[in-house]
Amino acid sequence: MKNIKTIQLGQDGPHVSKLGLGCMRMSSIWGSPTPDETESIATIHEALDSGINFLNTGDFYGAGHNEMLIGKAIKGRRDDAFISVKFGAIFHNGQWLGMDLRPLAIKNFINYSLTRLGIETIDLYQPSRMDNSVPVEDIIGTIADLVKEGKVRHIGVSEITADQLRKANSIHPISALEIGYSLADRQTESELLPTARELGIGIVAFANTAEGLLSGDMKAPLAVDDYRNHFSRFQGENLVNNLRKVEVLKQVAASKGCTPTQLAIAWVNAQGDLVMPLVSMSRRSRLPENIAAMDIEFTPEEMNILNTTFAPGAILGGTYLER
C-alpha cells in the first residue's frame, strides 16, 4: 500500500488496507438522492491510488446500483481492489422487510452480485446480519461451497453474537467481522470483540462517528425530517446529554489540531492491529482528512479522558446499532 498501513483479515487471511472505504453513500439510502456518479467513481479511483483497497458494499445498497457503480470504477483495475459484499437484507420501496438467508437465496444473490460487479470472484462475502431464521451451519456452509466453486475467496460475518461467531468459525474460517463500533457504541466490547480477537478475526468497524453524533456538527433538536429522530439517542434530553459528552471530544480534537471526526476515526484505529475503521465517503475531498486520521496518536491522558467520558452506557438512548 502506498500511504496506508495494512491489516490481516483472519489468521491466514489476506492483507488489506487498515482504512476501508464504505461505498454505501454513493447510492440512494433511505430515499435520498443518488450522489453524482462521476464524483463517486473518482473517489474510488483516488482511494485506490492512495492505497485504500478495501471497498465495502452490499447487494441491497441502492437495489444493486452500488455494485454496478463499483464495477465501473474497478474496470481495468480489478487487482487493485479487495471487494467486500454483504447480502441477505430485503428491501421494497425503500422499506426494510427482513432477511433471506436460505441457501437457495444465497446461491441466487451471489450470481447477481458477480454480474453487477463484473468480476468472477468476490473477495469477502458475508451475511449482513444473523437473525436465527436459518441455522448458522446452513448459511456458512453454503458460502463455503461458493468458496470451493471459486465464486468467493474469504468469508465474513456482520452483526452477529459471540456464540454465533464461534459457531461460524468452527464451520469455516471467518476472516472478518463487520460491526458498528465507535466511542459512542461500545456494547460489543464485553463479549463479541474479545471473541473475534481470540479467534484472530479482523474487525471491520463501521459507523465510527455514530451516525454523525461524534462529528461535532450536530445540534439539538434535529430537523423534523431527519431520519435519526426515530432513535431515542437523538431525542429530547438524551440528545442534549449526549452532545455534552461530544463537547469533550471537540475539546480534545481542538487541542490536537484535528477535527472531531478525525479523532473519532483515530480512536477506532487505536483499538488494535485487528481493527479497521470503515469510513463511508462519496467525495474525493473527504479522503485526505480521513487518511490523515490514521496517523493520529493519543497520549495515555487523552485516551483516559475519552474512555472515561464515553464509557459504555454514557451515551443515552438506543440506535439501530443496538439490536
Q: Which residues are catalytic?
A: 61
Return d(Cα 293, Cα 258) in angstroms, integer: 8
Q: Kindly report whether the peptide bond that precedes residue 221 is cis, defined as omega within 30 degrees of 0.
A: yes
Closest Cα partner for 271 from 201, 190, 181? 181
**DSSP letter assigned to residue 55:** E
Q: How far apart are CA 268 and CA 175, in angstroms?
A: 19
Dihedral sign computed on CA atoms, order 145, 8, 274, 73: negative
Could you tell me the three cell numbers for 259?
477535527
90 DSSP β-pair partners: 98
Cα 242 from chain centre: 22
**Cα distances (Å, whole numbers) of residue 29 to 60, 96, 98, 110, 159:** 10, 11, 16, 22, 19
